[in-house]
Amino acid sequence: MSYRPTLTRTWWLKNTAFKVYMLRELTVLPLLFFLLCLVKGLYSLSQGAEAWYLWLAVMQNPLVMLINTLALLASLFHAWTFFQLFPRVMPLEFGGKKVSAPALVAGQWAGVLAVFALVAWLFWG
> How many whole angstroms separate alpha carbon 71 and alpha carbon 37?
11
22 in a domain, yes or no? yes
Domain that residue 67 falls in: 13-74
Chain centroid to Cα 47, Å, comes to: 29
Which CATH number characterizes residue 57's domain?
A: 1.20.1300.10
Inform me whether the pLDDT recorded for 11 exceeds 90. Answer: no
Per-residue 3-state assignment (H helix, E strand, C coil) for 55-70: HHHHHCCHHHHHHHHH
Q: What is the per-residue pLDDT for 73?
A: 95
Q: Dump pLDDT digits (tens) for 46-86.
A: 999 999 999 999 999 999 999 999 999 999 999 999 999 99
Instruction: Please state the φ and ψ torsions of residue 3, each to the nearest 5 degrees.
Output: -80, 125
**Higher pLDDT, residue 100 or 12:** 100
The pLDDT of 32-55, averaged and rounded, is 96
Q: Dump pLDDT digits (tens) for 99-116.
A: 999 999 999 999 999 999
36 in a domain, yes or no? yes
In total, how many domains does the chain have?
Answer: 1
pTM summary value = 0.78
For the chain, percent of residues with pLDDT exceeding 70 = 99
CA angle (125 as vertex; 46, 107 as ends), nearest 5? 100
